[in-house]
Amino acid sequence: MMECFSVQCVPPCTACCLSPGSLPSCIPSPGLCAGQGLFPQGSVNGAEGGTAMFITNLIPPAQPFIKISWTVGGANIITSPGDDSIGPGYGDRITLNKTTGSLELRNLTLADSGEYRVSITTATAETINGSTELVVYENISDANITGPSNNLFADWSSANLTCEAAGNITTIQWTKEGQPLSAGGNILFSEENRKVSISPVKRHDNGEYVCKLTNPASSATASYRMIVNYGPESMTILGQNVAEVELFTLIYCSVQSVPPATFTWLFNGQQTGVHEAGYIIRSVSYNNSGDYRCDARNDLTGNVISVDHSLSVKDKTPPPLSPEGAAGIAVAVMLVVVAVALGLYFGITHQRNNSTNTTETGISHAPDTSHGPGTSLAPDTSHGPGTSLAPDTSHGPGTSLAPDTSHGPGTSLAPDTSHGPGAKGGVYENVGPPLPPPRGSNIYNRSIK
């Protein structure tokens, strides 16, 4: 195929043709490459009310054309230049390109269809002729799909879908849910694809069907939603078999059905009044333990299926201990252990002190040797000869007087009898270690009153 271009040409040539593997060849103005027609191959298509373009393959010449004439069916459309002669009905509908001879025709009608011819006279008095076909198509409108008027039931109903529209229709294509629909299985197409037959319908034939009608100038679409009734089927129950008291629980009945199924829940064989897919227990109690049954019914097909579910209730599981809680418990245990240890310690100490106080009552005190060896302590004769000093019984019989050891070893504590007989617990006066007796005197006993 030759390629035309307007460079590297030597006058009087205005265009050159380049053939693969050869040098450019000159074409007299305006000219066409060898084997090339005045118009592109094929007809010109237009839609009613639209615009048609008749574009030539001519290269604009260096000098204007002497004459351009367009006709259709032998009738004049326009003749130019000079005083342009425009045919009736074309005055406001055409535009002529005087450098290439191309023509634009607007506001097309069905009557504009036909063979269009052009004759061009160049500045060198050469005549170039050409023709092309215009086909004006009626716009496609009012597209519609007609389908079954009765209910369809899976596996035994049949369906016919017919696509119709006004206008010139050249092709019809079908899709289902956006995917191309092809013949095969239970699907059959009629001639020109205007009708689709499905027999018998299946549950997967549910969905939206679209037909697209086209012609070279326009297109239109129509849709139809097919409903195939089936079910209920593939029924299951979703939910726990063990629930904790006071917690929320849900038992859900799942089923496939068109139209949607209606539900009935039974508990231990008794109606519950629940007719939803989900059976809700907001706060579980032990009374909720038992057997549950879900009945699903398709009111259109009349089919009913059931499934059972058992539920047992247990005590609430205590929440897991957090690290902070564990640390708190550990501290509390340590405090308890310390408290018990302190209690035992003080209890044992107190018991030992009581034991010591009890045994002090019968202690025999050794003679005071603080005066050194060899010292003789004569009896006190200040009360006269033969005087007996009876022991102090002012505290009553059985009174135990524990010695006060807070003053250090060797300190003698005489009992305090100021409380009278029967008083419990001795009151002691601190008495320092005995002083050496004056010469010639005797050690005497002194009672503390």
Rounded distance, CA 81 to CA 79, Å? Answer: 7
CA dihedral 226, 228, 229, 235 (to 10 degrees): -120
Question: Over pLDDT 90: what percentage of the chain?
Answer: 57
Q: Report pTM.
A: 0.58
Residues 247 and 204 in one domain: no
What pLDDT, on a 0 to 100 scale, did the predictor assign at position 360?
A: 47
What pLDDT, on a 0 to 100 scale, did the predictor assign at position 331?
A: 79
Rounded distance, CA 387 to CA 384, Å? Answer: 6
Tell me, yes or no, whether 71 lies in a domain: yes
pLDDT (tens digit, 9 = 90+) per residue, 391-437? Answer: 444 444 444 434 444 444 444 444 444 444 444 444 444 445 555 55
pLDDT > 50? residue 343: yes
Arithmetic mean of pLDDT, 153-168: 96
**Residue 210, domain extent:** 149-226
Tell me, yes or no, whether 21 lies in a domain: yes
The residue type at 251: I
What pLDDT, on a 0 to 100 scale, did the predictor assign at position 332?
A: 78
pLDDT > 50? residue 300: yes
Answer for the pair 219, 212: CB distance below 8 angstroms, yes or no.
yes
Neighbour-count burial of 265, counting CB atoms closer than 10 A to its CB (0-12 exposed, 13-18 middle, 19+ buried): buried
**Residue 75 Cα distances to 18, 34, 45, 56, angstroms:** 38, 30, 20, 20
Residues 73 and 181 in one domain: no
The total of structural domains in the chain comes to 3
What's the pLDDT band for 351 if we cut at 50, 70, 90?
Answer: confident
What pLDDT, on a 0 to 100 scale, did the predictor assign at position 370?
A: 46
Residues 122 and 108 in one domain: yes
pLDDT > 50? residue 247: yes
3-class secondary structure, 81: coil
Arithmetic mean of pLDDT, 90-96: 95
What's the pLDDT band for 321 if we cut at 50, 70, 90?
Answer: low
Tell me, yes or no, whether 358 lies in a domain: no
What pLDDT, on a 0 to 100 scale, did the predictor assign at position 83?
A: 74
pLDDT > 80? residue 214: yes
Cα-Cα end-to-end distance for the chain: 154
What pLDDT, on a 0 to 100 scale, did the predictor assign at position 127?
A: 93
Arithmetic mean of pLDDT, 286-297: 97
Indicate which CATH number applies to the domain containing 188: 2.60.40.10
Rounded distance, CA 442 to CA 52, Å? Answer: 163
Taking alpha carbons only, the member of 143, 171, 142, 140 closest to residue 49 is 140
Which residue shows structure tokens 């009708």?
195
pLDDT > 50? residue 82: yes
pLDDT > 90? residue 101: yes
What pLDDT, on a 0 to 100 scale, did the predictor assign at position 230?
A: 97
Residues 191 and 96 in one domain: no
Rounded distance, CA 297 to CA 234, Å? Answer: 13
